[in-house]
Structure 1
Amino acid sequence: MAAITQFPAAFEICKPFMLTDQQMQEIVVRLNKEINMGLGRDTHARAVVKCYITHVHDLPSGNERGRFLALDLGGTNFRVLLVTLSSDSDVDILSKSYVMDKSLLVGPGRALFDFIAECLSNFCKEQNIDKEEMPLGFTFSFPVQQIGLDKGILTSWTKGFKCEGVIGKNVVELLQHAIERRGDVKIKIVAILNDTTGTLVSCAYKQRNCRIGLIVGTGSNACYMERTGNTEMYEGYQTSNKPNMIVNTEWGAFGDNGVLDFVRTSYDKRIDQESINPHKQTFEKCISGMYMGELVRLIIVDLMEQGAIFKNLKSQSIYEKWRFETSFISEIESDEPGHHRNCANILDQLGIRGATDNDMQCVQAICETISTRSAKLVSCGLVCLINKMNAKDCAIGIDGGVYRFHPKYHDLLVDNMTKLLRGSAKFELLLSEDGSGRGAALIASVAASRKK
């Protein structure tokens, strides 16, 4: 792949995205400070990295058994799963995905939960479990303040959602009421969790030293095992006999108070202003799949207007906001060196035909710049959490389309984390096997057994 330095105009635009080692070390320090503020009772209210307690103290033992429903809501698609835990290594999962109309994402909250309840009901009937009493683990991948294992207050919508009447409400209660309004299935929501928590728990089921759960997909977030004595927002933090608790950092909001402005670019600020949640989820907007493609598009458009790329070629599509999908980055970076088949196909979809090899090499280099910065920022976050736990040997469970499908993201994380840690800790990155489903079922199993 061509280096961005071969393209002077592109290099000038992309230079602010190239994080130095010193900047990365400073990001680790600043995130650690924000996390401590989120954990502290006296500082939590003004903290932007909220570090919500999850009430999940225990990781799986391997002895979990039974059949459980799981619901995974975190984007425009959601899934219903029937998970059977029958032995340490035998987990059977039946699942079905449902697509939500975009109107549900911004309409009344009641309509959203009624639709989910309808899909739950249909799934149970298809699996012939509509007459059984089924415990359900609810993976709800939005910022939630948990006040119990089965009580979660939505603090803000992200990822394009903006449903009325939900912020400040217990989302478990809203969904349970929607289920009960139908009255045709016997489902009890016994636990609510974030997708990061599900990822951590799912990976810990097989890898006992897993202590961090990470999502790098449409959005980005991470959770980790914190000492219970440090979780001051937990009422029993001083007297609990449980040594640890999973903390949901909600690190997507890191920088909302300006502490990341020293590495944000003019393009990051443009995307923020044009998003449906300006001045929110600053870190996430520099990292995640919802925004990476748009960053590439904005850079390409500016280069076209300078006459530095695609000379004499016209395209209306490239001027459409959000038209350059983040999946295009993964495809373009999957091209073999010296070949541009994927890049040419994508440009063709965008109405750009007849691009030169030099043009396509430039596009590849821009994509590489954006994905490298994303991985560097995530590496800073993970190293911060490893240092926070003082972990010497730590597995990290990871899910999300950016990590799963980008051909170089794993290696970028390994290289940058190794550089930042300087030999102070060993780590292993694990691709999660359906963390949102399996993890929700495992936590539902623990919750159901507690209730019994």
Structure 2
Amino acid sequence: MESKTYAIDQKFMVGTGDQLFDYIADCLNEFKKEQDLLNKSLPLGFTFSFPCRQKSLKSGKLTTWTKGFKASGVEGQDVVELLNEACKRKGVAIDVIALVNDTTGTLMSCAYSDHNTYVGLILGTGTNACYMEDVNKVGTWAGDGNARETIVNMEWGAFGDNGVLDDIRTEYDFNVDRTSLNQGKQLYEKMISGMYLGEISRQVMVKLVQAKLLFNGVSSTKLDTANSFETRFLTDIENDDSNNGMVVTEILNKLDLNPSIDDIMLVRAVCHSVAKRAARLAVAGLAAVTKKVHRENRPEVTIGIDGTLYKKHPLFKKEMEEMMKQLVPGVKVNFMLSEDGSGKGAALIAAVACRLHNNKAH
């Protein structure tokens, strides 16, 4: 597999839809050029990790943006058409074969090597899950009459948008939501995913400063600035095994703070608690899904997982495994890390779709 990552600048995230998709087309063109494939039309599996109303394998309308995206003129539109139009404008020879959510891609990439994979999970900037379901239980199924199972994309980040999580949401959760681009939406995601954990931790620290329990009651302009405490800091702090909290000190120094040993211990405790809660909340959802897919003829359930939060934060894997044993006793559950699951899975789905199309043509 040849791969390359392209960063998406903030201006494309909140600009126009044409600007965003033109940039994606430019990236595809550059990659094709590097691989000496400019003159060859390629089938594409398009991973689009946002809520869509999908009518077919190669068509889906964006329901709502999440994870800080707000590009105009995209919501309610078919994103495959938008990408195809951008590729035409830019002269990129691409044929979008399949539109795939990143959770679906993750499930597929893991199922390729472990056939007990029935659940896919993303724990990164955002969070989402999908699972295998019998088509006769899917009321909206209008696909192949011969299919027995299909993958259901849960869009579980929106769990709680109707208020059912309000009893366990803290004042920090409410504050994070109030200052977000999509207020009142993706409330479960805002308690779990990497986009928000740093800000939750910062708000807890600010409250402790105001109570004169941290930094002698003296904050800094940087600490008081929203989103100044990045989620990657939680990972760095959790990995800091020095006695004097050297990494914690370096991070806080960047925020113009000079912590004491007590401050360091308290900041560590805050970051640990926020991450631990996130891991446990994620498992609460996973346990419910696992109970749904587990059957007598499925003694094992493998959950394919992708996302930087799960990959890089040292607490998540251990905490999730321990909690799963408590919430789903007697079921053998395996967590399988997927390397670029969303990309590889989309490629697999596109390959299968190409094969089926070619077989029908012959």
Please confirm whether the aligned pair reaches a TM-score higher than 0.5, indicating the same fold: yes
* Aligned mates of 2:238, 2:75 — CA distance in 1: 39
Distance 1:309 1:100, change over 3 A: same
AA aligned opposite 1:410 = K
AA aligned opposite 1:340 = G
2:161 aligns with 256
Give, in angstroms, the shift of residue 312 of structure 1.
6.1
Residues 59-82 of structure 1: per-residue CA shift (max 9 Å, x gap): xxxxxxxxxxxxxxxxxxxxxxxx
1:384 aligns with 288
1:441 aligns with 347
Residues 126-185 of structure 1: per-residue CA shift (max 9 Å, x gap): 2111111210000011111110000011000001111111111110010001111222x3
1:408 aligns with 315
1:49-64 to structure 2, matched below 5 A, reads none
* Aligned mates of 1:393, 1:114 — CA distance in 2: 44
AA aligned opposite 2:136 = G
* Aligned mates of 1:262, 1:298 — CA distance in 2: 19
| Structure 1 counterpart of 2:304, from 380, 393, 397 | 397
Give, in angstroms, the shift of residue 338 of structure 1.
3.6
1:247 aligns with 152
**Match status 1:179 vs 2:87:** yes
**Match status 1:200 vs 2:104:** no
AA aligned opposite 2:84 = Q
**Match status 1:359 vs 2:266:** no
Aligned length: 355
Identity %: 46
Tell me, yes or no, if the aligned pair for 1:397 and 1:431 is still in contact at 8 Å. Answer: yes
Tell me, yes or no, if the aligned pair for 1:213 and 1:224 is still in contact at 8 Å. Answer: yes
Distance 1:314 1:295, change over 3 A: closer
Give, in angstroms, the shift of residue 315 of structure 1.
1.9
Distance 1:339 1:204, change over 3 A: farther
Give, in angstroms, the shift of residue 400 of structure 1.
0.9
Tell me, yes or no, if the aligned pair for 1:223 and 1:248 is still in contact at 8 Å. Answer: yes
In terms of mean alpha carbon deviation, does 340-349 or 239-248 score higher?
A: 239-248
When the two chains are superposed, the root-mean-square deviation of aligned CA atoms in Å is 1.3
The TM-score, its normalising length taken from structure 2, stands at 0.95
**Match status 1:431 vs 2:337:** yes
AA aligned opposite 2:181 = I
* Aligned mates of 1:259, 1:437 — CA distance in 2: 33
Q: Which has the higher contact order (CA 8 A, sep 6+)?
A: 1
The TM-score, its normalising length taken from structure 1, stands at 0.77
Unaligned runs of 5+ in 1: 1-92
| Structure 2 counterpart of 1:228, from 119, 135, 141 | 135
Tell me, yes or no, if the aligned pair for 1:228 and 1:240 is still in contact at 8 Å. Answer: no
| Structure 1 counterpart of 2:194, from 279, 286, 289 | 289
Residues 397-425 of structure 1: per-residue CA shift (max 9 Å, x gap): 111111111111100001111111122x1
1:129 aligns with 37
| Structure 1 counterpart of 2:203, from 292, 298, 305 | 298
* Aligned mates of 1:250, 1:324 — CA distance in 2: 27
| Structure 2 counterpart of 1:156, from 47, 61, 64 | 64
Tell me, yes or no, if the aligned pair for 1:159 and 1:218 is still in contact at 8 Å. Answer: yes
1:99 aligns with 7
* Aligned mates of 1:336, 1:244 — CA distance in 2: 47
Unaligned runs of 5+ in 2: none
AA aligned opposite 1:265 = T
1:267-278 to structure 2, matched below 5 A, reads 267-278=172-183
Give, in angstroms, the shift of residue 337 of structure 1.
6.7
**Match status 1:189 vs 2:93:** no
Tell me, yes or no, if the aligned pair for 1:203 and 1:433 is still in contact at 8 Å. Answer: no
Give, in angstroms, the shift of residue 95 of structure 1.
1.6
* Aligned mates of 1:352, 1:188 — CA distance in 2: 53
1:32-71 to structure 2, matched below 5 A, reads none
2:184 aligns with 279
